Amino acid sequence: MINTNKKHTQVSMQEENAHKPNIRRNGITAVTGLVMGIARIYTRGNININPDPVDEARLPDEKKKFQQARKTVGMTMERLSDFADSRNDSDTRDIMNAQYEILNDPELETMVYQLIDQKSVRTEKAIYDAFQHYIDLIKSADKSFLVSRLSDLRDMRDRLIHNVQQLAVIASFGKDAVMVSEDVSPIEVITFARNGVKGIICTAGGLTSHASIIANAMGIPMIIGAKSVLRTVQDGDTIILDGYGQNVIVRPDDETSSSYTRVIKRQKEEDKFLRHVIEKPPETLCGTRIELQANIDFEDEVLNINKYRAEGIGLLRTDTLLMNAGPLTMDRSRQEEFCQTAYSGSGSGMVTVRLLDVGGDKLLNIKSKEANPFLGWRGVRILLDRRELLQSQLEAICRVAGRYPGRTRILVPMISNLDEFLEVKKELADMQGTLDKRGVPVDRKVKLGIMVEVPSVALQIRQFAPHVDFFSIGTNDLTQYTLAVDRGNNLIASLYQPLHPAVLTFISMTVQAGEEFDIPVAVCGELASDPFAALVLAGLGIRELSMTPRLIPKVKQAVRLHDLEEIKAISKKVMSCNTRSERETIRAEWREAYELKLKEERSKIIAL
């Protein structure tokens, strides 16, 4: 029996929310940024599928409709692909090619034709049923790496049906538009970018979905997982997407709008101010140099290396190549092309290539799920179990390294004992020998190092030192493993503390071993991009920091406005803290003093 009172209450709440100002909804930041604009509710339209059969004489016409729809959608995709090419965005182009393959799959055509012939259904019904067959197969397979493809399939299905029914898919939304939708596809993100959309908010979606990847490449702030936002927002409402606070504000009142307007204005002023820093060296007031390098995920980001004057690549992630390749398969030529782009776009700087670092819970096609994938089959453990994958990566890296001698560092992830590293070291030597015999130029000066992210390595760092060429500290996982805190679990988010004394102690131990054995030590985790934390790390002796390129100016500015004694004093204070509140107090005190330094620096620039 239906509880009409409860239903009435829910409807009343929705009606109230439809007019209530300042409604906040939490989400997950997929692409960082802060924008305020006009909410545009985006749906793919109402798909009206007529189940009634058609006359046999009309069946050939139904097939022609499918052919025409496929041709028109294909032409649209080609135009969108050209737009991606104009941005030198090969990752987006690869995704577009994958969708194009779906569109032109002969099995899809065969199934659509069979449904039309055998069941006398209309074209849109045949398209819907054919795609639903593939969608059901993916759902039943229970493979997490395939789930992200569902959005691609649904998008292609709806576009074909819309074309058949002569429906417009995406109109021009205006330059102030912030799209609000259940989910979006890669094609839609590209189309939004072409129309100057300011931001994207989704109730569903994933951080590793194609749409999120392309939104990041296109520089569009994006929040996913804002589950109830569609029940509270109306088309045309003013809306704020706060990627820093991971929330959405619907119909902000005057006070909130004014507050965020001031923040956005300050951000624009800060960006202008930081442009003056880009060309200056990353040195402290006393002349101590801190190398600021780039973390790179995609080829399109390589352009930012020079833009923000990064001193080489401190972390070239190869994991993203697996997203388009399928489970445990990576094309060597594609890896080689990716590395080639990174080397050619990074001047004469060092390039640190991290070997594949994914977990069994994400991109890999394994038969059973792991109870705790973060402590399971990931990183070097996968590479040593699947030697062909390791050898393919090493061959691609070595081939490119031979063209750029003296610039290559290979980083091995998820090392927990020395045996693992020695196995990789042997594989590298064997690959270099094999290529040498084939007459391929080989750089024998390639450096091989390890990620320090597991406490067992930090505790035995002096045992590793004689065998490695460099250390790179992954503060994300080191914090997670040291404090036993899943950094993706919102229930215990407050316990994830990268500046915890235990974490800093492991970092300090690594630095000391580096100094003792004359081995470079870098930090490539997210901690390096936080100006305050960067100073703490520098105070511990870190002289290489790697981060997202666009964050380099902020860190550089902080380095340039302190001398080494100040920096060491900050580190000492943080190391002596027993509680999080004590550390936050020190950060707040530093921030207050730092703002005065920034104000003085701004006045000097204005005076010039």
Distance CA 483, CA 471 (A): 21
**Given this model, what pLDDT does residue 327 score?**
44
CA nearest neighbour of 203 among 221, 223, 176: 223
Distance CA 199, CA 242 (A): 10
Is residue 524 among the annotated active site residues? yes
Distance CA 557, CA 136 (A): 53
In order of their start, the domains of the chain are 14-42+170-256 (3.50.30.10), 56-164 (1.10.274.10), 264-282+463-608 (3.20.20.60), 318-452 (3.20.20.60)
Is residue 398 among the annotated active site residues? no
CA nearest neighbour of 202 among 32, 14, 27: 27
Average pLDDT estimate for 550-569: 95
Burial class of 181 by CB neighbour count within 10 A (0 to 12, 13 to 18, 19+): buried
**Given this model, what pLDDT does residue 244 score?**
87
Of 35-49, 123-137, 504-518, 584-598, least confident by mean pLDDT is 35-49
Across the chain, what does the average pLDDT equal? 85
Q: Following CA atoms 383, 216, 243, 361 in sequence, which dihedral angle do they give, to the nearest 10 degrees?
A: -20
pLDDT grade for 266, boundaries at 50, 70 and 90 = confident
Distance CA 185, CA 151 (A): 6
Q: What element of type H or E holds 463?
A: helix 461-464
**Given this model, what pLDDT does residue 209 score?**
62
Average pLDDT estimate for 245-262: 94
Q: pLDDT tens-digit profile of 311-320?
A: 999 999 887 6
Q: pLDDT tens-digit profile of 501-515?
A: 999 999 999 999 999
Q: pLDDT tens-digit profile of 324-353?
A: 444 445 678 888 989 999 999 999 999 999
Is residue 179 scored above 90 in pLDDT?
yes
Mark out the alpha helices in 120-253 (DSSP H runs): 123-141, 144-147, 150-164, 186-194, 210-218
Mark out the alpha helices in 38-185 (DSSP H runs): 59-86, 90-103, 106-119, 123-141, 144-147, 150-164
Catalytic residue among 162, 202, 210, 562: 210
**Do residues 147 and 169 make contact, with C-beta atoms less than 8 angstroms apart?**
no
Residue with structure tokens 């006070």?
255
Average pLDDT estimate for 431-449: 97
Distance CA 304, CA 17 (A): 42
Catalytic residue among 202, 339, 398, 524: 524
In this structure, are strands 238-242 and 34-41 parallel, antiparallel, or unpaired? antiparallel
